[in-house]
Structure 1
């Protein structure tokens, strides 16, 4: 127990230090938290202190939850919350006026508002429908002026929450896309180099399964990239500050996401064929080692290493030609695994050629680094 508490305290300390010293998720979370608290304070100052509204709590309560992670989400959440609060309030007021009995009105309204709150279009804000109904039923505030106050205060809080989120450092989420696009080439290169070093040793089922698992994790990174891309695109929708914040670099374009999808998928297929290849013809492990090492050199090369990258691609292509020759040579005993490896590495080389073309000259000079990385 003490160890767990110590570890948690250390993790919190590291997060606080990163929040202060560098930009990242921790700082983004801190900024959004402070904005939400500020929006709630501003809403209370207007509704509770200046306006002296009878239901002033609704304004800061609404503003607090509408400082969302994107401006678009704040707008959508504001619409959802205003609608569900309005519906819940009107249903409760109508039921109370009709029955003149709190228990009967509650029995009529709560099942309907809870079902309404689970409607997918309302998202997490759907539960505010029965909550708003309970406020009306429990406190008996069902007069026209009370209902009007509830709706106006909710609307005030929604407006303040949206304006604060959009006007004060509006969030832009492009950092994750850039991070994953830089990580993919590095992780692919590391795996190919690891396999090239180990393929010449005797077959080990557990080790080849580990290679395959690592390749599957690469495809998971591509899935993360797609999710980060959607998140980045959403953060730019209706965001008034994205053109004013010079520190925010545009994320790499999506043109080459499908290429990296192909590269990771073909690496995964190659690792699967290797895991099934208990025995390969003589000389094939050495050829595969040279091919995969050269492919890793292509992906692990840095900006400006154009000649080295081209030479690595040529070396990988030459190794694949030798592999094809072994497959076609009647003097060698071929196996289904060898045919699968030849086909898988051929598709991998095709994608590597496309990436090298993008890095070295087929893409416009200003877009080369972003288009592939």
Structure 2
């Protein structure tokens, strides 16, 4: 009789697996790849152990299991690396066994050589299989051509099965992470500017949030993560038979602000938040007339970022896309507010440095947005 606690545990595990398979995200990707690895190992065993009755059938599922890599291209490269490493480790172990005619002696000769071989950088993470293959051969005690041929053939069968399953059954792709990070960049940039605008419109002097600089620096961290995700996305499309069936945007054809624009935009946002933080600490550096248009300027720029996030998620309204009037009107409003701010800035006295920094930082940000919204920029 099954204990109630065990039934509850099985239901919990089953529910977790079901949620992982039905929801998008890292959990679903991990669940799918794990099940594919298990399926590839079972298929490799069915071919070599159940149907062929190979003497070392274990090597086929063992190889297939560890070739379920994060991209099809990586599976193919890892498979070739592993097969070369296994061949070299097998031959070295057989040679050591023939020369020493002793298990201990063969291990003493083969293991140092295969471990050194496995640490060769070109073999990557597959180098570990050189000493492992040597251990299999020496522990088996058979160094004849037939036994060695079986080991290599069964390893090759496992590699073919693992690569084939990864390529043909829900081949992995990483474009979703790229889209998520692009959207996150735009949303967080808009929220940062909106918070600053709200503070200068309604906040009391000196009580502004102290995390503006940290949030601007975080945008740079997201951009770095985006670069890495793009590299994975590009690799996942190499030798991937599923890429032609997807409708998702690639690294260079998503709507909205182009990825190349974010290198400048994050730098300008970081500089602007430093200036705004200093201004929040010393509000008397600028007259009230100069501070009055600042919230409108910041909010206008924030609207451009919010619209970009909506375009990337497909949640925009009414067809006013990144090249529609919504962004252009928001940017034009921000430019007019900047002109009002510039006209109200004093040109002499102690406010000159603060006003100059604010003028330069806002101009650079708005100019970068204007270049990014231009049709030729979006075509990059």
State if a TM-score over 0.5 links the two structures. Answer: yes
TM-score, structure 1 length as denominator?
A: 0.85
Indicate how the Cα distance of structure 1 residues 20 and 97 shifts in structure 2: closer, same or farther if over 3 A, else same. closer
Moved more, 113-122 or 272-281: 272-281
Distance 2:12 2:373 in 1: 41
Any conservation in 2 of the 1:196–1:292 contact (CA below 8 Å)?
A: yes
Show structure 1 runs of 5+ residues with no match: 1-8
* Equivalent residue in structure 2 for 1:346, among 344, 359, 363: 363
Number of the residue aligned with 2:249? 250
| Residue deviations 1:187-246 (CA, integer Å, cap 9, x gap) | 1111100011113545548x5540111111111111121111111111110012221x34
| Residue deviations 1:254-302 (CA, integer Å, cap 9, x gap) | 6921102221221111112233443231134333322211111222235
Distance 1:220 1:174 in 2: 19
Indicate how the Cα distance of structure 1 residues 13 and 179 shifts in structure 2: closer, same or farther if over 3 A, else same. farther
* Equivalent residue in structure 1 for 2:293, among 287, 294, 298: 287
| Residue deviations 1:288-337 (CA, integer Å, cap 9, x gap) | 3222111112222354343342222112112222344455x434533534
Indicate how the Cα distance of structure 1 residues 337 and 89 shifts in structure 2: closer, same or farther if over 3 A, else same. farther
* Equivalent residue in structure 2 for 1:296, among 284, 302, 312: 302
Distance 1:333 1:299 in 2: 33
Moved more, 85-94 or 287-296: 287-296
* Length, aligned pairs only: 352
| 1:96 counterpart = 2:97 | yes
Distance 2:16 2:92 in 1: 46
Aligned-partner SS, 1:256:
coil
Any conservation in 1 of the 2:86–2:129 contact (CA below 8 Å)?
A: yes
Number of the residue aligned with 2:313? none
Number of the residue aligned with 2:273? 271
Any conservation in 2 of the 1:15–1:26 contact (CA below 8 Å)?
A: no
* Equivalent residue in structure 1 for 2:351, among 334, 347, 367: 334
| Residue deviations 1:46-80 (CA, integer Å, cap 9, x gap) | 11122211111101100111122211011011011
Aligned-partner SS, 1:257:
coil
Indicate how the Cα distance of structure 1 residues 299 and 34 shifts in structure 2: closer, same or farther if over 3 A, else same. same
Any conservation in 2 of the 1:208–1:274 contact (CA below 8 Å)?
A: no
Number of the residue aligned with 1:5? none
| 1:312 counterpart = 2:317 | no
Distance 1:104 1:15 in 2: 50
1:167 deviates by 1.8
Number of the residue aligned with 1:3? none
Any conservation in 1 of the 2:230–2:251 contact (CA below 8 Å)?
A: no
Distance 2:11 2:367 in 1: 47
| Residue deviations 1:323-359 (CA, integer Å, cap 9, x gap) | 44455x434533534333322221111121123334x
Distance 1:229 1:76 in 2: 20
Moved more, 159-168 or 21-30: 21-30
Moved more, 18-27 or 109-118: 18-27
Distance 1:90 1:190 in 2: 62
Distance 1:218 1:93 in 2: 56
TM-score, structure 2 length as denominator?
A: 0.84
Distance 1:315 1:178 in 2: 29
Q: How does 1:1-373 map to 2 (within 5 A)?
A: 15-199=16-200, 201-202=203-204, 204=206, 207-243=208-244, 245-246=245-246, 248-253=247-252, 256-277=258-279, 278-279=281-282, 280-283=285-288, 284-301=290-307, 302=310, 303=316, 304-305=319-320, 306-326=324-344, 329-358=346-375
Any conservation in 2 of the 1:274–1:337 contact (CA below 8 Å)?
A: no
1:11 deviates by 10
